[in-house]
A and B are shown apart, each in its own frame.
Chain A
Amino acid sequence: DAGVIQSPRHEVTEMGQEVTLRCKPISGHNSLFWYRQTMMRGLELLIYFNNNVPIDDSGMPEDRFSAKMPNASFSTLKIQPSEPRDSAVYFCASTYRQGLVATFGSGTRLTVV
């Protein structure tokens, strides 16, 4: 298996633009997580899905952020409109089920200028 695949690896965008980050979990994994890491706030869990259903989105910072999982093999995290303070590394992770350790993707480094 290729592991958790995130795209793009790097994204530079201008303030106000829409940004879409993508994640392909490991096949057969039923739980998917989106994390954000910044120098100021450290690591944060934004949202997680079980069987494609969002379970806890309490970590999503604002309404500008939205996440979807239309099927078991694909998830997106969208920021619209983007702001400079959204600059961060965004990680996606997946696992067979909650309670087991998750496998992380390599992350997407987002820079909003």
Chain B
Amino acid sequence: GIQVEQSPPDLILQEGANSTLRCNFSDSVNNLQWFHQNPWGQLINLFYIPSGTKQNGRLSATTVATERYSLLYISSSQTTDSGVYFCAVERASGSRLTFGEGTQLTVNP
């Protein structure tokens, strides 16, 4: 199956800092999504972004499909950004959605 690698596995920031999370994948994809799970377990689907760039407030994501990676940018981080960020992909040739192991982000006040 397709391999999904997220980096870094853990990240600690001070409030106000910017960060970049990375998702590498091993095959061509037709579906790539970013999710955030807060410390209370609630899941939020942040972006559906198989290619290109999207922005939503302080968050933006870019997927370079030809180079098989996606980046999630968090600007001016807030404590509420803490949690685990997951990347998930679906191979273009057909397969089920596969999740990475996530990046654990902690934003300290």
A contact set with B: CB distance below 8 Å: 35, 42-45, 56, 58-59, 89, 91, 93, 95, 99-104, 106-107
Contact B97 A45 (CB under 8 A): yes
Chain A nearest CB: distance from B63 CB in Å?
Answer: 14
Interface of B: prevailing SS: strand
Among A35, A58, A101, the residue within 8 A (CB) of B47 is A101
Q: Is the CB of A104 within 8 A of B33?
A: no
What residue of chain B has the Cβ atom nearest to residue A43's Cβ? B99
Please name 9 pairs of A and B residues whose Cβ atoms are closer than 8 Å in the assembled complex, sorted by A: A42-B102, A56-B96, A58-B96, A59-B96, A91-B43, A100-B48, A101-B47, A103-B45, A104-B42
- CB contacts under 8 Å to A, within B1-55, are 33, 35, 41-48
Contacts of B42 in A (CB 8 A): 104, 106-107
B102 surroundings in chain A (CB, below 8 A)? 42
Task: Judge whether B69 is part of the interface by a CB distance below 8 angstroms.
Answer: no
A58 and B95 CA atoms in complex are apart in Å by 8
Q: Which among B41, B45, B86, B99 is the interface contact of A102 at CB below 8 angstroms?
A: B45
B67-102 interface bits toward A, Cβ cutoff 8 Å, 1 = contact, 0 = none: 000000000000000000010100000011101011
Q: State A59–B101 Cα separation when bound (angstroms).
A: 17
**Closest-CB distance, A62 to chain B (whole angstroms):** 15
9 closest Cβ pairs, A-B complex: A101-B45, A104-B43, A45-B97, A43-B99, A58-B96, A102-B45, A59-B96, A101-B48, A42-B99
Q: List chain A residues, Cβ under 8 A from B97.
A: 45, 59
With a CB–CB cut-off of 8 A, which chain B residues contact A93?
A: 43, 45
Most A CB within 10 A of own CB, among B45, B46, B88: B45
- Which residue, B47, B86, B97, B101, has most C-beta atoms of chain A within 10 A? B97
> Given A56-B96, A58-B96, are A42 and B45 neighbors across the interface (CB < 8 Å)?
no
Contact check, B101 vs A104: say whether CB atoms are below 8 A apart. no
A36 to chain B, nearest CB (A): 11
